[in-house]
Amino acid sequence: MNDTRAIDVIALVREDLRDFAGYRSARREQSAATAYTVWLNANESPWSNPVDLDAALNRYPAPQPELLRQRLAALYAVSPEQLLIGRGSDEAIDLLVRALCRAEIDAVVIAPPVFGMYAVCARLQAARLVEVPLVEAQIGDGTKAWTVDLDAIAAAAIAERAKLVFLCSPGNPVGATIAPEAVRALARRLAGHALVVVDEAYIEFAQTASCASLINECGNVAVLRTLSKLHALAGARIGCLLADAALIDVLRRCQAPYPVPAPCAEIALRAVQDDALAQAARRAETVRAERARMAAALARMPRTRQVYASEGNFLLARFHDADAVLRSLLDAGVVVRDMRAMAGLGDALRISIGTPEENTAALAAIAASAAPERAA
């Protein structure tokens, strides 16, 4: 790790947390992976619970399960020291805001419409929120996408003394991606000013490359990844932050003592072995094919105003009478995300890509919303 880069990124951390020791849990002092056989240091029960059939839960888990950390680091092409495992991406977002932003002084820049947790975490920390809205752009015959104004984001971050810039690629709920070279240029403009965080929760469904490779070039780039989407482990709550090792070290000291339950770590480790990854890749291909099928079908429907190009496992669409469309979907037992409360999306719904059968059911319900008896 380059020492200058480490100094640069640590300068963005709240001064009172740069040398913060945090809570040193029993498992940080001595790893359970050692040869010790008698554990009397953590006030745990020496007996397992009778419902714990594997007799594995009476001991505290490793704060950062080492085998999982190594495997995820290999998967994301970073070093283990550049990776922090947490309870979904949400925990990493919260840690970043708390560790970098002083309440009522520092700012967080976001580009709405976007994932709501960035704003929630900023508010909880009393960090100022600066919004630089996305822009709709025509990209083809009747096709629109959303773009991020990186020049405006850079100007706002510097003017508003932002410590964090959150970018979502593919964007949720808009589905648009940001090229790594554009992120590199933004990070260089904001060196010494702000950390650029790229949320790649949906990157496996896109053709755009990950920004993880930028971490070794730009100390002020961080990347969020998750096993919740492609890897089908939303209930396990396993997410990662990829960043400069010095920043990871600070955040680890700010993190809860035991963030990853042992059963979740074990199933996650199995989910990133070669056979499971191969199946996930096949499912990603199915999602991309179904996404294209649904987008084309939606575009032909009379209720549809606009279907946006998407690189995620979802589509954002505007509708003539979105309320009628939503009622028809719910009547058919199909639940989608109502986006109408979000600024600029007063007629929009976000539709996740399900199985082919589920997608067909959703399309049928949307088509039914335009039937004469419902439209009357």
Both tokens assigned to 374: 């419902």
Tokens 């575009």 found at: 299
pLDDT band at 375 (very low <50, low <70, confident <90, very high): very low
176: pLDDT strictly greater than 90: yes
Interval 327-348: pLDDT, tens? 999 999 999 999 999 999 999 9
Interval 85-129: pLDDT, tens? 999 999 999 999 999 999 999 999 999 999 999 999 999 999 999
Q: What pLDDT shows up at residue 226?
A: 98
141: pLDDT strictly greater than 80: no
Q: Judging by beta carbons within 10 Å of its beta carbon (0-12, 13-18, 19+), is residue 341 exposed, middle or buried?
A: exposed
CB count in 10 Å sphere of residue 259 = 21
Q: What pLDDT shows up at residue 280?
A: 98
Q: What pLDDT shows up at residue 7?
A: 66
Instruction: Provide φ and ψ at 164, rounded to 5°.
Output: -135, 140
Check residue 255 and give left, alpha or beta (phi > 0: left; psi -120 to 50: alpha): beta
**By mean pLDDT, which of 14-23, 73-82, 122-131, 352-361 is the weakest?**
14-23
Give all domains of the chain, ordered by start, each with its CATH number: 3-24+61-272 (3.40.640.10), 26-59 (no CATH), 280-375 (3.90.1150.10)
Segment 214-230 shows an average pLDDT of: 97
pLDDT band at 1 (very low <50, low <70, confident <90, very high): very low
Q: What pLDDT shows up at residue 376?
A: 41
d(CA 158, CA 161): 5
**Percent over 90 (pLDDT), the chain:** 88
d(CA 182, CA 189): 11
231: pLDDT strictly greater than 50: yes
5: pLDDT strictly greater than 90: no
Rg of the chain over Cα atoms, rounded to whole angstroms, equals 22
Are the C-beta atoms of 325 and 303 separated by less than 8 Å?
A: yes
What is the pairing mode between strands 143-147 and 162-168? unpaired
Instruction: Provide φ and ψ at 352, rounded to 5°.
Output: -70, 150
Are the C-beta atoms of 323 and 335 separated by less than 8 Å?
A: no
List, in sequence order, every residue forming a beta bridge with 135; answer none if it has no partner.
147
Q: What pLDDT shows up at residue 17?
A: 95
Whole-prediction pTM:
0.94
327: amino acid identity, one letter: R
Are the C-beta atoms of 160 and 107 separated by less than 8 Å?
A: yes
pLDDT band at 4 (very low <50, low <70, confident <90, very high): low
Interval 20-79: pLDDT, tens? 998 888 877 665 556 788 999 999 999 999 999 999 899 999 999 999 999 999 999 999
